[in-house]
A = this chain, B = another copy of it.
Amino acid sequence: MCQFCYIGRPNPFLFEFFRRRFHGSVLYRSLPVPRRHTPYFGQPDYRIYELNKRLQQRTEDSDNLWWDAFATEFFEDDASLTLAFCLEDGPKRYTIGRTLIPRYFRSIFEGGVLELYYNMKHPKESFHNTSITLDCDQCTMVTHHGKPFFTKVCTEGRLILEFTFDDLMRIKSWHFAVRSHRELIPRNVMLSQQDPGMLDQLSKNITRQGITNSTLNYLRLCVILEPMQELMSRHKAYALSPRDCLKTTLFQKWQRMVAPPGKRAARKQATETQRIEFGR
């Protein structure tokens, strides 16, 4: 009996996939449910494998459009990403919204990373009505750094992902809590350094808990800027002055508080917000 790929026992994800897709159709009953080694549909860890493959395809030329496409492929429109870790001055926890996710991943590479992938050991899936949760207590974020020496940084922690259970299988929430990190250097680099200055450089960590300074700065900036995003979008979309942006935003917030809009009004509101976001 195979623990992993449901050989010899029903795969609930596979079953659910076919049920949703073919329920009520003639196909459903006569569909040849794969017998073995094709338990791909609905297995959330394959999506992380695909995410790793996509990250491999990044080049120096990958621009904002590339990163937007990356985020669109793997993250829901209302996704959020949380990173928790402990620095010298205490625990940190950063949560960013969907629009900031592309630049989060980009910031990792801007910090001197040449390669990035996630390695999951014994991830656990759980299946809910409209989502699948993947909980991996032994996840390693591996990054390769080129300067000043080749360094491989392994950031270990718990990764909890929530996927929407549909054809696209995109991530609704990403939560990575860093437990520890390890910076690995090639044996031969260490041996070839006789210069004390170089040895000193060799001894310094190049990340903080596996996170580069550029990512750390980006996350700090996000926390400051995210609440101001509505104001900035309004400024760009309507060319209002900052003061007027603040006024109209506050007025709309107050309106919503005193008279919660009906269904139709709410929909109009949502459409407008979306337009403003895309207009950035």
Contacts and interface: CB of A to CB of B under 8 A. Distances in A.
Interface centre among A27, A53, A167 (most CB of B within 10 A): A53
Interface string A157-173: 00000000001110000
Interface stretch (A32-40, A242-250, A262-270, A271-279): A32-40
Interface stretch (A78-86, A100-108, A179-187, A220-228): A179-187
A121 interface: yes
Q: Do most interface residues of chain A lie in helix, strand or loop, or is the interface mixed? A: mixed
B185 A187 contact: yes
20 contacts: A22-B32, A27-B27, A27-B32, A34-B167, A35-B167, A37-B47, A37-B167, A38-B41, A38-B167, A40-B40, A151-B187, A152-B184, A183-B187, A184-B185, A185-B187, A185-B190, A187-B202, A190-B202, A190-B203, A191-B203
Interface of A: 3-5, 21-22, 27, 30-32, 34-38, 40-41, 46-47, 49-50, 53-54, 56-57, 117, 119, 121-122, 150-152, 154, 167-169, 182-188, 190-191, 202-203, 205
